[in-house]
Amino acid sequence: MALPFLLGVAVGAGAIVAYNNSKKIKEKTDELFDKSKDIVCDVKDNVKQNVEATVDCIKDKKEKNKTQNESKEECKDKKEEEKNEK
């Protein structure tokens, strides 16, 4: 059970030593992290826009339903008044 853990520690330590001793590896990892940051920022912006659009859509539908319900109630009231007048 301890062998996979020790192997992981050894690989991690080797990666750290390689990173600290090689300019090429540092440059490539820095490029990779910068690209990752850009991608995450783009995805975050897209998700934010989609959430805002969804919220606006839901608000519009609620308002439309509210208006329709009010219209239905007004029609019911008018019909009742007409029945009462007859």
- Lowest model confidence (mean pLDDT) among 15-19, 50-54, 64-68: 64-68
In the predicted structure, residue 47 carries a pLDDT above the cut 80:
yes
Q: Which pLDDT band holds residue 43 (cuts at 50, 70, 90)? A: very high
The encoded tokens of residue 56 equal: 């606006």
pLDDT at 86: 59
SS3 39: helix
Note the pTM of the prediction, 2 decimals: 0.52
The encoded tokens of residue 54 equal: 């969804």
DSSP string, 52-77: HHHHHHHHHHHHHHHHHHHHHHHHHH
Domain positions in the chain are 2-85
